Chain A
Amino acid sequence: MTVVQGIYYALGALALFVFLSFMVLVLTWVERKALARIQMRMGPMRVGFHGTLQPLADAMKLVLKEDILPSWADRRVYWLAPLAVFIPSLLLWAVIPVGRDLVLANLELGLFYIVAISVLTVMGLLMAGWGSANKYAMLGGLRAAGQLVSYEIPFIMAILAVAMLVQSLNLETIVDGQRNFAYILVQPLGLFIFLTAGLAELGRTPFDIHHAESELVGGPFIEYSGAHWAVFFLAEYINTFTIGALTVLLFLGGWRWPAMPFDGFAHSTLSVIWFLAKTYAVILFIFWIRGTYPRLRIDQLMAFGWKLLVPLSFVNIVITGIVLFYGWPLWTLTLISLVLLGATFYAISRHQGTRLERMTVTVHSFRGTRSEPPVVQPQPEAALED
């Protein structure tokens, strides 16, 4: 590697870091505003126009805040954990293109690299949980480990099905493969698996059990404050952005614009904007879920992952393989995928929720049964038989 190349990569990495930091700032603002909309609130309104500068104010607060080291903490592990979470999240973006040729390293094995690096996050979470010397943090770290490892499989399998369609692991090739139609049309089931597993990888509602504010009060990050917490926060939002971007690249046609009227510089600028718009649409969907759903319990989460998502992702691979092997037209894959997706939703509504009947509360009326003095003795056994 020559010096020029080194400088090129260093500048690229710096630009990427600045770009991602800016995206995180925007993302936090969008999330707060979107959630506020769902919850009939205004969201941040004070700092800047409609609170647009709020993320900066928050960042400043976090950086200026005192960093606290718990006295029992395992110092090295405790201080290294934020980096162990943050660096992989940044590394992922080395191969994710935001437009044609707008990528730091156009790897042929791009998807493989993404899968390999994204697994590393779990180590950082475990380190944070262990290093904090806090029981809540440790439980959170262990939960995170269990959750991330089990959802890794459907996540990878969903990616693999797309790679099979294109016969390539290069992200640009995958986007080019969608020049006629986005893969959401071919693999709706794959998109469902990918997004669900992606949500679990992110630890976002309804899979935010390692944060679990109501019981674990923040999980592995419970003891962190100030800048170190900010690093976790940054990593988390970069990961959210990554999942959004990957969804767009793999299933929604990337930066491809149907019948783009321009070419040259205007074309690349517009395609980046188009790509970002799609990404934000996916992320808004994630925020929407966050504003709507409760959290699953750890055993339900595991059951959902291993009993439903993992088999389903294998089935997805198999049907993709069959269709490709026999050279059937791709719309057959769409059809099978849709049928399976419907069956999945049916199965979820039947078995994931509850086996008990839905309405178990009856209203007993006393109209006309009142006598003087109106005394109704409690009759537990009789009432139960109702």
Chain B
Amino acid sequence: MQVQQQARTADTIDLMINMGPQHPSTHGVFRVVIWVDGERIVKAEPHIGYLHRGSEKLCEGELYSQVITLFDRLDYVANLNCELAFCLAVEKLMALEVPDRASYIRVILCELNRIASHMLFYGVYGLDVGAMTPILYGFRERERIQGLFESVTGARMMHNFIRVGGVKEDLRDDFEPRMAVLLEELKQGIEECDDLLSQNEMFLARTKGIGTIGPTEAIDFGVTGPSLRASGVLEDVRISEPYSIYERFDFGVPVGTYGDCWDRYYVRVEEMRQSLKIIEQAMAQMEPGPVAANVRRIARPPKGEVYVRTESPRGDFGVFLVSDGSDKPYRLKVRAPSFANLQALQYLLRDAYVADAVVILGSIDIILGEVDR
């Protein structure tokens, strides 16, 4: 492709640098080819597809209950949020009423997963700007959450816990005391993480005013989630189109001003606090009861199509499901937020420095499992 020529006094050529797919800072197997003039990026070209597994096609060959396991592997940092999106789609198609307790369990686990995901972002972002300590603090909190997940779902990552019509099983007896401890720990942990990095002079210098994107551009690129809210757009699916039982909770939505890297970072930190609020309310409101609707073991949704939007930690996670009345989906399409957010990368990288490329890429928090599907 033609590299844009700029007026230069000396006869120089741009240096092409291939970042990825084995580059440690591309958050997985992502490749971006950048042309640099000295330390300035002239042009950047993202390449994706290294983690393509054909998940959507695979789903067409599996029973509805088996598809959930494939959804676990889309956004492998926020598995439960993906499971929830799929189950909501099937339930909407079948017009199923999910028991209250199941919904509460779902919300609690999903919000915990959101915190875990943002904690991963927090740690990795610290590494991206060159601070090596935050990742260990982020992972400490993540570890605590995963410990709880392990006791509830039996797995630390690929839970397969949220099922069509409810959840796999009820919470254990020790859940409530463990949750109380965890909430306290997380509250403290989030503040600690915030103190460690957010207002650090050098961190501000590295992230403030870097990779800005305005609200209209962000919407045009299809950016959603924290990255969109950082640009000053008040859009959260949990508020604008509440799914599950999100309308029962009071929580704030953090919104940024400039849409720069720092805003994108801090919106996520603030979101963790809001998620804690939701969990506290859900724990208080939850009552004993059944945790699964009366569904046949092999679900056969009626013929039709449905689209469900959910707010995953990365943004608007949509599932489009077409059913032909059989026990397998006829067609499944996932609207992955990471994929849409990634489209803005080229725009964000304009006139950036090489060192900023990593900071900007980190700030939109992509998960390659979701981008490539």
Contacts and interface: CB of A to CB of B under 8 A. Distances in A.
Interface of A: 35, 38-41, 135-136, 139, 143, 205-206, 208-209, 212-217, 290-300, 348-349, 352-354, 356, 358-367, 370, 373-381, 383-384, 386
11 contacts: A35-B132, A139-B39, A205-B130, A213-B127, A215-B354, A291-B133, A353-B201, A361-B230, A364-B252, A375-B240, A376-B240
Nearest to A302: B39
A380 B215 contact: yes
A295 B254 CA distance: 27
Contact of B129 (A294, A353, A354, A363): A294
Interface in B257-277: 257-258, 260, 262-263, 266-267, 270, 274
B208 to A, nearest CB: 4
Nearest to A370: B247
Contact of A360 (B16, B132, B133, B263): B263
A383 B232 contact: yes
A46 B251 CA distance: 47
B255 A217 contact: no
Contacts of A214: 24-25, 127-130, 355, 358
Contacts of A376: 234, 239-240
Given A39-B133, A299-B39, 5 more contacts: A139-B15, A214-B24, A295-B131, A297-B353, A366-B250
A364 B353 CA distance: 33
B355 A367 contact: no
Contacts of A379: 234
B75 to A, nearest CB: 23
A292 B133 contact: yes
A156 to B, nearest CB: 25
Given A297-B353, A299-B39, A366 B270 contact: no
Contacts of A293: 130-131, 200, 202
A374 B247 contact: yes
A298 B355 contact: yes
A381 to B, nearest CB: 7
B324 to A, nearest CB: 31
A384 B205 contact: no
A361 B208 contact: no
Contacts of B39: 139, 143, 298-299
B126 A360 contact: no
A366 B248 CA distance: 11
Contacts of B16: 135
Interface of B: 15-19, 23-25, 36, 39, 126-133, 136-137, 140, 197, 199-206, 208-209, 215-216, 219, 230-235, 239-242, 247, 250-258, 260, 262-263, 266-267, 270, 274, 353-358
B253 A366 contact: yes
Contacts of B133: 38-39, 291-292
Given A294-B202, A366-B250, A376-B239, A383 B215 contact: yes
Nearest to A40: B136
The 8 closest A-B pairs by CB, nearest first: A295-B130, A380-B215, A363-B252, A354-B208, A378-B235, A360-B257, A294-B131, A294-B129
B276 to A, nearest CB: 13
B266 A361 contact: yes
A297 B127 CA distance: 14
A358 B240 contact: no
B234 A364 contact: yes
A354 B18 CA distance: 30
B270 A361 contact: yes
B208 A297 contact: no
A380 B17 contact: no
Contacts of B231: 380
A380 B257 CA distance: 11
B205 A354 contact: yes
A365 B232 contact: no
A208 B17 contact: no
Contact of B233 (A136, A213, A359, A378): A378
B130 A374 contact: no
A383 B234 contact: yes
A303 to B, nearest CB: 10
Given A294-B130, A360-B258, A383-B255, A365 B204 contact: no
A378 B240 contact: yes
A212 to B, nearest CB: 7
A364 B240 CA distance: 13
Most B Cβ at <10 Å: residue of A213, A294, A295, A300: A294
A384 B212 CA distance: 14
A364 B270 CA distance: 11
Contacts of B356: 297
A354 B209 contact: yes
Nearest to B232: A384
Contact of A296 (B205, B354, B357): B205
A295 B200 CA distance: 11
A40 B129 contact: no
Nearest to A206: B202
Contact of B241 (A290, A299, A375): A375
Contact of A292 (B131, B136, B204): B131
Contact of A291 (B17, B132, B251, B358): B132
B113 to A, nearest CB: 21
B256 A361 contact: yes
A208 to B, nearest CB: 7
A40 B202 CA distance: 23
Contacts of B234: 364, 376, 378-379, 383
Nearest to A298: B39
A142 to B, nearest CB: 9
Most B Cβ at <10 Å: residue of A217, A349, A361, A380: A361
A356 B130 contact: no
A205 B16 CA distance: 27
A364 B201 contact: no
B355 A349 contact: no
Most A Cβ at <10 Å: residue of B202, B203, B266: B202
A218 to B, nearest CB: 10
Nearest to A351: B205
A349 B127 CA distance: 23
A359 B18 CA distance: 35
B256 A363 contact: no
